[in-house]
Amino acid sequence: MARTPRFSVRAVGSFEQKPGCPEYRTAALSSERLHHICRGECYNPSDERRLITRVEVVRIRPQSYRDEPMAGLIDDPWRAFACEPDPSGCAVALSDPEFAAARRDTLYYVRAIETPSPAVNAANLRCRYDEQGGCVEVDPCFGGYRTDYQDDCLAETEERAWSSPIFVEYREAG
């Protein structure tokens, strides 16, 4: 296309989890076995969804020639849209008015960001930082004998869902 591409995005959050395990799990395994396998927490979705806080769009312009510098070709994020707190999700409409003037193929990804929630290993290396913000010591959660059994390795994270790539090919009008 040679004109401005337009997109509509709608995202809903993942299901909030209820504590513990559903009855069909507790009927199949003893509480000791459930604790050993998953510390007594299973996939146990409620009917409520987490809120989407924002929608971000990543724009990538593939190289037009061999060794074209990558600087300026990847915009991450290119656009960000705040979402009102709404359990039914978030809808966003957008366009890329620079597409036609750039005269090149463009790839877009959309990601929906949820409200922060605890997740295993979300802190990754679990850095201890110095006054300048540099990581001076790490305490990774290995998930085996090297990590204390009582350490749940939980940290806050913003879970996200990604769209499939949206490839828009530039073609001269005519």
The burial class, CB within 10 Å (0-12 / 13-18 / 19+), for 105 is middle
Within this chain, do residues 94 and 39 fall inside the same structural domain, yes or no? yes
Whether residue 37 is found in the same domain as residue 94: yes
* 174 domain residue, yes or no: no
81 plus 95 within the same structural domain = yes
Instruction: Answer yes or no: is 1 within a domain.
Output: no
Is 42 domain-assigned? yes
Q: Tens of pLDDT along the chain (174 residues)?
A: 788 999 999 999 999 989 888 888 888 888 888 888 887 778 889 999 999 999 999 999 999 999 999 999 999 999 999 999 999 999 999 999 999 999 999 999 999 999 999 888 888 899 999 999 999 999 998 877 888 888 888 899 999 999 999 999 999 876
Number of C-beta neighbours around residue 61 at 10 A: 19
**Does 150 lie in the same domain as 137?**
yes
